[in-house]
Amino acid sequence: MSSVLAMTMPKLPKESDKLIQLSNSVKGELLYNEPMSKHTSWRVGGQADCYFKPKDIADLSVFLKNWKSDNPIYWVGLGSNLLVRDGGIRGTVIMTSGLLNGISILDENIVRAEAGVACPKVSRFSAKNDLVSAEFLSGIPGTIGGALKMNAGAFGGETWDRIESVETIDRGGNLHHRYPGEYKVSYRSVVGLDDEWFVAARFKLTKGDGEKSLAGIKVLLEKRNGSQPTNQPSCGSVFRNPENDYAARLIETSGLKGMTIGGARVSEKHANFIVNTGNATAADIEQLIDVVRTSVEQQHGVRLVQEAHVIGEVL
């Protein structure tokens, strides 16, 4: 019997009466009332009603074909750009990190990586196969799925600059092959089809010196570790950089470095990072984000656009 069907069903929220029994062919693991603090880089967040860990893309397709709830579906990779509120998530979380983890070379210069593969892994894999121009991915602390969703970038490079095509899945479990021209891509923003999610990307790279590329990746990581609080729980950059300026500069010159609310603090090392000092709640972090945005707007006349995504219910 499937591990999903073998589980004892705990009490679920009202929306649960819309869920149907899953097929025996589903091989993944379905959890209930899963603490999201275990799955976000800020280490905060309430419980998700339902939390599914697919075995692979085919298993995910079967799950979606059988999961007839009309509740929202949320996709989580490393949770590195995500704030889940303390009241948790009324809906279903699908976890990709460490699960949708295939990576391969399809052609002499095409690397295919599934949505759960960590971005730095793609940069190293490419370099080891003498493919260059993916080095910037080493500076993105998330998965390919998240990088596609927000056109993540680092060290002057952006994800969609290297995309040949993507693979997506819809709510009915149907798979699609899409091309960049089907999306509106801009700085930290990607607009595409509703109810279709990324499950893999195909990167078009350039043949080159892999050893040199690996050395360059090492230098980039040393630069990142020297300028960012990588040893503390955070989401990476909280705000997008405004045109011709830097969010960190605006925050620092507003005198906000070190500002603390509860267990949340504006990092003294990099002002565009908010860190969890050990006992922060999601409410602490969200309140500090609002204070920083308001203060910068009052002092500089610039309203910072939030890069971190916030989901869930207020406790």
H-helix or E-strand spanning residue 311: strand 309-311
Quote the tokens at residue 183.
Answer: 């999306």
Q: Which of 220, 239, 253, 244 is nearest to 293 (CA)?
A: 239
188 is catalytic: yes
307 is catalytic: yes
SS (H, E, C) 172-221: CCCEEEECHHHCEEECCEEECCCCEEEEEEEEECEECCHHHHHHHHHHHH
- What is the DSSP code (8-state) at residue 223? H
The active-site residue out of 37, 61, 237, 254 is 237
Quote the tokens at residue 10.
Answer: 């705990």
Spell out the residues 6+ positions from residue 169 whose beta carbon is closer than 8 angstroms to its own.
Answer: 57, 60, 61, 64, 175, 176, 196, 197, 199
- What is the DSSP code (8-state) at residue 22? P
The active-site residue out of 178, 188, 224, 249 is 188
73-76 vs 89-95, strand pairing mode: parallel
**What residues act catalytically?**
188, 237, 307
